Amino acid sequence: MATLRIAVWNANGLNQRTQEINLFLRTYNIDVLLVSETHVTDRSHINIPHYAIYHTPHPDKKAHGGTAAIVRRNLKHHLGTAYSEEHIQATSIVLEDQMGEITVTAVYSPPKHNIKTIEYEQFFQTLGHRFIAGGDYNAKKHVLGRQNNYNQRARTPQRHAET
């Protein structure tokens, strides 16, 4: 596989941003776009020429939250396992390169949930041993430059990475 161009986009509503996303994909020659906060339902239909679009709605099936993976059709890929819980929604595609399969996942985590380390571990275990998981985790640092001023969600993945 040649160089892969992956971008992450928080759409805050995918349907009304389709033209903007199409222009972005063409302008920057993006192969895979990981979209969070799509507000897409099972009844939504989005079309972008030369790209396959896979989406995972919020589990209540209403138009909020959700994710999408937009992948160039000529890339060898298949849809991975969708993950749709109140605290994390994720859409995964699986690409193949010289080293084997790699899962590329769009993630959205609504800010109202206090996610525990075990919940992150359970989610990441669904992605396999090689993955890229990009999106909106809603982990915010309140004051730049102060290491101990993260919200709880911003600290949890860091602690997980150190263990």
pLDDT in tens, 111-144: 888 888 899 899 999 999 999 999 999 876 555 5
Report helix angle 152-162 to 117-125, nearest 10.
60
Query: What's the pLDDT score for residue 152?
Result: 54
Query: What's the pLDDT score for residue 61?
Result: 79
Provide the token pair at 48: 């972008």
**Pairwise CA distance, residues 127 & 74, whole Å:** 23
Beta strands in 99-142 (DSSP E): 100-108, 131-136
Q: Which residues in the chain land under pLDDT 70?
A: 1, 140-163
pTM of the model: 0.82
Query: What's the pLDDT score for residue 58?
Result: 79
Query: What's the pLDDT score for residue 151?
Result: 52
Query: What's the pLDDT score for residue 116?
Result: 87
